[in-house]
Chain A
Amino acid sequence: MTKANGSGSAAARQVAMVFDLNKCIGCQTCSVACKVLWTRDEGSEYQWWCTVNTLPGRGHPKDWEAMGGGYREGVPQPGRRPLREEWGGGWDFNYDEVLYGGKGQSVYLHPIGEEPKWGPNWDEDQGAGEYPNSYFFYLPRLCNHCTKPACVEACPQGAMYKRKEDGIVLRDESRCQGHQFCLEACPYKKIYFNFVRQVSQQCIMCFPRVEQGVAPACVRQCPGRAVWFGFMDDEAGPIHKLVRKWEVALPLHPEYGTEPNIFYIPPIGPARLNEDGSFDESSPRIPTDYLESLFGPRVRPALETLQTEMQTTRNGGKSELMDTLIAYWWKDMFKPFDRDPADIQWVEQR
């Protein structure tokens, strides 16, 4: 008999991530680090457990924010499963023809089969606004390993659980029957169905690495020092400082009611320009209303705090917040998960 669904899902400790959207350059190194580690098997080709999308944009899967799920006043909300074409991706390219078939000058590289209509980074760099005040920023997304995971509660098989020791949300694939209620219930649409293995799959927060003291691949591979990882209750660590102490790191769509554990420093775009090329300081380039639609009303005080602390350092003062965001010491960004994965014997020698 499985445990009662949704009960006992509270974790004693919680790992969390903070992405600084002012530092993310949309290079997709996190996406690719995850891809090569976890989703290369048959059936997972189209899965990107970590994606970076340009905002404003329709995202991945296409228009996921209109697909429902999550909670309203604690009540599960109906959600729908993304269609395969709304994910896109997983294409096979005509590499053989172009690279080895002697047609390098006559045939271009393109996906084999149906013309793709959407993909994991389809609307890259489109953004919004009018030149010279157009704007966009990058939003990395992965499973939020929510404190109230709607997916765990939705699974009738009891196949999903939230680990007590670190709050990572996992699925026992031997219990998963492919019913996909988790896909419907997840308001972030970060769960994929593996059509070959007929189980649902999502980010596992690199738990085999975390168990060995190694940060998740997306975190450790970020070349921009744009992401922190650690325990929320580690008061000396950057996660606690950014989320709890300075309250500048916010969850995406808090109104979805699942209490995500991936947080974001909201982006402050460059100043707007007047027609004569001078700075227009009267309003921000990225509309605050838009940021509020993503991160909730707490984005306003968060932006104010960021501006205030930036000014402090401009004036020659010290700011713990700015020092944390600058991240002078790379390994401080994910302590105590700063062990080098190259030092670990991952596979037993036969």
Chain B
Amino acid sequence: MRAVKLQLATKTLLNSGAFQWKKVPAEELRMAGARVDLQPSRYVRTVWAGRPVGAVRNLKVQTAHNSRDILFRLEWPDESKDTDFGDGSVFPDAASVIFPLKGDAPLETMGSPRSPINAWYWRANFATDEARNRSCQGYGTEEDSPERQVQARARWEDGRWYVVFARPLSANGKTNVKLSSAHPAKVAFAVWEGSSQERGGLHSCSRQWLDLVIE
């Protein structure tokens, strides 16, 4: 996918409803449920065996940059807006933009000790514009990075989530993915549907890494 260059302020693009996004090419991604047999918890592997994982099957993704920040706009259908833990029966909806930090990190396990990933993580119960910048070396190992340059702004309307992630193109720190027009990069996406009990390693994910070209 291609991050198109726009002469627009980041605060404009953080608005998922900004008309300028209409001109940005969109990719319709077919999502797959996470593999239950790769989950680190025997309880999860046993109890979820045969249960459907990955309620969100289609994700629309766009990306753009303004030389200072790079942004990803995610959009997906979700009839139930889960913004907290409710009465204890649900989880907040969530989404991630994922990058391998080294070569071809295994996407289906969210990285490995040798091939960590960098995940920008938004969850529907976070404060406005809050997102976590995480590194991960496999399921269950996510850690918040000290570098907190990632932000996300979300909106739910008529059965759809719209979430825009943003991060400065130049971001230092060894757990931050390097993103520049000179660097070919790879990207993937994950979505959690909270009323379907999705959290942790139970989510839907794009089926493989996508090549990311920054104009």
Which residues of chain A have a CB within 8 Å of any CB of chain B? 1-2, 4-6, 75-78, 81-85, 150, 153-158, 177-181, 184-185, 193, 195, 198
Q: Evaluate contact between B85 and A154: CB separation under 8 angstroms.
A: no
Chain A residue nearest in CB terms to B85:
A195
Chain A residue nearest in CB terms to B47:
A78
Contact code string B131-152 (vs A, CB < 8 Å = 1, else 0): 0000001111110000000000
Q: A1-B113, A156-B140, A157-B140 are in contact. Are A193 and B42 (CB under 8 A)?
A: no
Chain B residue nearest in CB terms to A6:
B42
Residues in B with CB closer than 8 Å to A4 are 40
Q: A156-B140, A179-B200 are in contact. Are A5 and B89 (CB under 8 A)?
A: no
The smallest C-beta distance from B128 to any residue of chain A, in angstroms, reads: 17
Contact code string B37-63 (vs A, CB < 8 Å = 1, else 0): 001111110110000000000000000
The smallest C-beta distance from A321 to any residue of chain B, in angstroms, reads: 39
The smallest C-beta distance from A44 to any residue of chain B, in angstroms, reads: 15
Q: Evaluate contact between A158 and B140: CB separation under 8 angstroms.
A: yes
Q: Evaluate contact between B87 and A76: CB separation under 8 angstroms.
A: no
Q: A156-B140, A177-B200 are in contact. Are A5 and B85 (CB under 8 A)?
A: no
- Interface majority SS (helix, strand, loop, mixed), chain A: loop
Q: Evaluate contact between A76 and B43: CB separation under 8 angstroms.
A: yes
Q: A83-B88, A84-B88, A198-B85 are in contact. Are A153 and B142 (CB under 8 A)?
A: no
Listed A/B pairs (28) with beta-carbon separation below 8 Å: A1-B113, A2-B140, A4-B40, A5-B40, A5-B41, A5-B42, A6-B41, A6-B42, A75-B46, A84-B87, A85-B87, A150-B43, A153-B41, A154-B41, A154-B42, A156-B39, A156-B44, A156-B139, A156-B140, A157-B200, A178-B199, A179-B91, A180-B199, A181-B41, A193-B85, A193-B88, A198-B85, A198-B125
Tell me if B33 counts as interface (CB < 8 A to partner A).
no
Residues in A with CB closer than 8 Å to B43 are 76, 150, 153-154, 181, 184-185
Q: Evaluate contact between A1 and B44: CB separation under 8 angstroms.
A: no
Tell me if B201 counts as interface (CB < 8 A to partner A).
yes
Number of interface residues of B (CB under 8 A): 25
Residues in A with CB closer than 8 Å to B89 are 81, 83
The smallest C-beta distance from A21 to any residue of chain B, in angstroms, reads: 30
Contact code string B174-195 (vs A, CB < 8 Å = 1, else 0): 0000000000000000000000
Which residues of chain B have a CB within 8 Å of any CB of chain A? 39-44, 46-47, 84-85, 87-89, 91, 113, 125, 137-142, 199-201
Residues in A with CB closer than 8 Å to B137 are 1
Residues in B with CB closer than 8 Å to A85 are 87
Q: How far is the CA of A76 from the CA of B47 in the complex (A)?
A: 7
Q: Evaluate contact between B88 and A156: CB separation under 8 angstroms.
A: no
The smallest C-beta distance from B12 to any residue of chain A, in angstroms, reads: 32
Q: How far is the CA of A179 from the CA of B139 in the complex (A)?
A: 13
Of A83, A84, A157, most B-chain CB atoms within 10 Å: A157
Q: How far is the CA of A1 from the CA of B89 in the complex (A)?
A: 30
Q: A153-B41, A184-B43 are in contact. Are A82 and B141 (CB under 8 A)?
A: no
Chain B residue nearest in CB terms to A4:
B40
Partner of B87, one of A6, A75, A83, A150: A83
Residues in A with CB closer than 8 Å to B139 are 156
Q: How far is the CA of A6 from the CA of B42 in the complex (A)?
A: 8
Residues in B with CB closer than 8 Å to A179 are 91, 199-200
The 3 lowest CB-CB distance pairs between A and B, nearest first, are A154-B43, A156-B140, A156-B41
The smallest C-beta distance from A91 to any residue of chain B, in angstroms, reads: 16
Of A83, A156, A177, A185, most B-chain CB atoms within 10 Å: A156
Q: How far is the CA of A4 from the CA of B140 in the complex (A)?
A: 10
The smallest C-beta distance from B198 to any residue of chain A, in angstroms, reads: 10
The smallest C-beta distance from A45 to any residue of chain B, in angstroms, reads: 15
Q: Evaluate contact between B200 and A156: CB separation under 8 angstroms.
A: yes
Q: How far is the CA of A75 from the CA of B46 in the complex (A)?
A: 8
Residues in A with CB closer than 8 Å to B46 are 75-76
Residues in A with CB closer than 8 Å to B141 are 1-2, 157
Known interface pairs A83-B87, A154-B43, A156-B41; 16 further A-B residue pairs with C-beta atoms within 8 A, sorted by A's residue number: A5-B140, A6-B41, A76-B43, A76-B46, A76-B47, A150-B43, A153-B41, A153-B43, A155-B140, A156-B40, A156-B44, A156-B140, A178-B85, A179-B91, A184-B43, A184-B47
The smallest C-beta distance from A256 to any residue of chain B, in angstroms, reads: 14
Q: A83-B88, A85-B87 are in contact. Are A177 and B142 (CB under 8 A)?
A: yes
Q: How far is the CA of A75 from the CA of B141 in the complex (A)?
A: 25
Q: How far is the CA of A256 from the CA of B91 in the complex (A)?
A: 27
Residues in B with CB closer than 8 Å to A184 are 43, 47
